Structure formats: C-alpha cells, structure tokens
C-alpha cells in the first residue's frame, strides 16, 4: 500500500490555499489508510461533487449557492474555470444553510467576478 511521509503531509497541509476548512495532507493520508487494498476503493469517506455553468443572470448576481446533498459540509475544494483556465477571483465559503457551498464576491455587495459560461465545480465532504 502507498504511504505518505509526515513531511509531505505537512507540506500538503500548508500548500493548498484553495482548499477550505481542510488539511489536504491529512485527507490524503486518511484516504490512503482507509482505501481497500484489494479493490482500490475508498471507504469511510462520504462526499459529493458537482459542477455548474454560470448563466448571464448569475454572472451579475452577488452569489451562487450549491446544494451538495450532504447533511453538513466539513470541507471542500472548489474550482472556477473560464475557457479551461482557472479564475482565481471567486470566493467560496461554507453556506449558512447546512450542506451548501456559496461562490461569492470577495467584496460585499459587488457582483461575482465570473462571466457567463464560466464553470464552477467542487468536491465536498
């Protein structure tokens, strides 16, 4: 079975600024530990993922809310792409409603820094 060193786990935990409420090295280590060595499937990790294409109305809105289907969102890794390239100006936070993630402007009351046809996606657990 593959393992991850304590030093690499620490480096991953520090390097992932885009990961919210998560220590990525710890998550990877836990996933490796809980993976079935026979089938290669991951056990004990409930998660969800999704993607959404931004509409013109959403591009001028102040936020887009994702309902993940999870009872609670412990952590997530978001992504926002424009023509296949990352758009790093979107701000993603855990929603005030359980099980949601919100993409919003970093400046309160301002429109999202996204355009029509940008693709928002997430992996949540």
Domains held by the chain: number = 2
Do residue 40 and residue 56 come from a single domain?
Answer: no
pLDDT over threshold 60, residue 57: yes
Do residue 69 and residue 114 come from a single domain?
Answer: yes
Q: How far is CA 48 from the centre of its chain?
A: 10
Instruction: Report pLDDT for 38.
Output: 44
Instruction: Report pLDDT for 90.
Output: 72
- CATH number, domain containing residue 57: 2.60.40
3-class SS of residue 24: helix
- Write out the DSSP string of 104-120: E-SSTTSPPS--TT-EE
3-class SS of residue 100: strand
pLDDT over threshold 50, residue 26: yes
Do residue 30 and residue 88 come from a single domain?
Answer: no
Q: Which tokens belong to 121?
A: 């996606």
- pLDDT tens across 95-117, in order? 889 999 988 877 777 777 888 89
Do residue 70 and residue 118 come from a single domain?
Answer: yes
Instruction: Report pLDDT for 42.
Output: 46
Between CA 96 and CA 103 the distance in angstroms is 12
Do residue 69 and residue 17 come from a single domain?
Answer: no
3-class SS of residue 85: strand
């Amino acid at each position: 079975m593959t393992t991850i060193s304590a030093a690499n786990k620490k480096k991953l935990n520090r390097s992932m600024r885009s990961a919210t409420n998560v220590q990525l090295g710890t998550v990877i280590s836990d996933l490796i530990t809980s993976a079935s060595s026979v089938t290669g499937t991951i056990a004990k990790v409930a998660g969800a993922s999704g993607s959404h294409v931004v509409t013109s109305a959403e591009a001028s809105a102040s936020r887009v809310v994702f309902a993940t289907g999870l009872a609670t969102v412990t952590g997530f890794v978001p992504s926002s792409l424009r023509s296949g390239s990352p758009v790093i100006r979107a701000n993603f936070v855990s929603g005030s409603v359980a099980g949601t993630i919100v993409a919003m402007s970093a400046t309160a009351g301002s429109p999202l820094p996204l355009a029509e046809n940008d693709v928002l996606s997430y992996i949540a657990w």
